[in-house]
Amino acid sequence: MWRTLKTFLRIVVYVAVIFCGLLLLSSAAHPRSVPGCLIGISLGLLGIFGVIGVFWRQRWETVTLVVSLLALVVGCAALLVPRPIAHGPSKVVPMAERPAVLNNVETTATGAANDAVGEYRKIKDAENKKRAVASLSSASNQLRSLQATKLAGNARAIKDSVKSASVSDSVSERVAPAVADAVADAIDKGVPADLANEAAARGLDKAATAPSEVDRLLDEMQLANIAFNAPASLGYGETIGIQLRLSTNKTPGELADMIHEPGQRETSSVKISNEMDARLTGEAFQITAVRPERQAVSASGVTQWNWDITPKQLGQQRLHLTLDAIVRIEDHETTYTVQTFDRTIGVNVVWPDTALSFLGKYWQWVCTALVFPVIAWIAKRIFKD
């Protein structure tokens, strides 16, 4: 009896090792992780050799059992412990694409500056709004003083310069980190530090010279309704869609009925311009825009945005959905984040969904891994008797 029980327990261990290897192989195949695939294949082979050793009484089977137990622990740790997203090396953009990168730095600086000024616009605090606008001009001059020095591209120096030139808490808290990160990102892509620094300074100048015009445009903006889906839970490696719908003549309920992807339907009212820019971001997700993120708003129909998202990290993660109104001031475009819309979506990324989808896709392998050892054991008992 004891001998039979030990044989059964050994079989269970090897089946678990095989299953763990197949699951790890499935998970590693999605991001094309070569080490993960090799470990998964090794675990599967180890389990198969162990089963062979059990039924044919090979001397190396005991060693295989010990190694299998260790491999099972390591494999489970590799599967269940959340792993940070690997960041690949920065890609140097071609010379022809530099203007686009610099324009992004400029737009980021303008958007952050408008956001800082807009904080006081919302609460109608004219005095602090005036101080914030003055801080923007001072900060742009301070940025230019860094050019032609070794600190032109230093993120900490840029952040400290903006803060030292500012007499507004809002500018210090919102503009300084946004400008520093935008310049650092541009430099990582191969843009010279002076050019990236100058682009940020131009962005602050644009925001400093246009607050009154922005106020007028904001007052004239039309209200519209939006609806989108917010998934509360998602399986690791699973891909779903996020849909955003905007309309000036449909009710929030009608827009919510147009959302067909999983997740709770949420609605809101926002101010819009003739052109809107919708962004969905999240460090723990691979996000692909299915439709253009900047679109002209339909006067009578529904404007639609779609993204495909795939979680790359376990645990409680966040998606960030924003809507920016695109306005024209003095013959140039300025992206103004009126807080037209700004929402954080909490998503719990879990393993069970992935395991279930794996079982649904590879159930034949799993059944074979479970049934084969049992059949072999029964056959051996029959022939022995």
CATH number at residue 257: 2.60.40.10
In a domain, 119, yes or no: yes
Same domain, 230 and 284: yes
Query: Is residue 321 within 8 Å of residue 302, measured between CB atoms?
Result: no
Residue numbers of the domain that contains 197: 95-209
First to last CA, the chain: 15
Count helices and strands in the chain by DSSP H and E runs: 12, 10
Query: Is residue 93 within 8 Å of residue 191, measured between CB atoms?
Result: yes
Token pair 């030990």 is found at 6
What pLDDT, on a 0 to 100 scale, did the predictor assign at position 36?
A: 63
Buried b (16+ CB within 10 A) or exposed e, 110-120: bbbbbbbbbbb
In a domain, 54, yes or no: yes
In a domain, 87, yes or no: no
The phi and psi torsions of 329 (rounded to 5 degrees) equal -130, 120
Same domain, 111 and 227: no
Q: How many CB atoms lie within 10 A of CB 289?
A: 14
In a domain, 214, yes or no: no
Same domain, 326 and 265: yes
What pLDDT, on a 0 to 100 scale, did the predictor assign at position 84?
A: 46
Could you give the CA distance from residue 216 to residue 53 in angstroms, rounded to a whole number?
81
**Most confident option among 38-42, 113-117, 174-178, 292-296:** 292-296
- Give 355's pLDDT tier (boundaries 50, 70, 90): low
Same domain, 12 and 112: no
In a domain, 90, yes or no: no
**Mean pLDDT (the chain, rounded):** 75
Mean pLDDT of 139-165: 81
Q: Beta strand 264-272 with 285-289: parallel, antiparallel or unpaired?
A: unpaired
Same domain, 183 and 303: no
Query: Is residue 41 within 8 Å of residue 20, measured between CB atoms?
Result: no
Q: Sheet holding 240-247: strands in order across?
A: 264-272, 222-230, 240-247, 303-311, 285-289
Q: How many structural domains is the chain composed of?
A: 3
Residues in the chain: 385
pLDDT tens per residue, range 230-279: 999 888 878 899 999 999 889 999 999 999 999 999 999 988 888 888 99
Same domain, 343 and 363: no
Beta bridge partners of 348: 233, 316
Same domain, 181 and 249: no
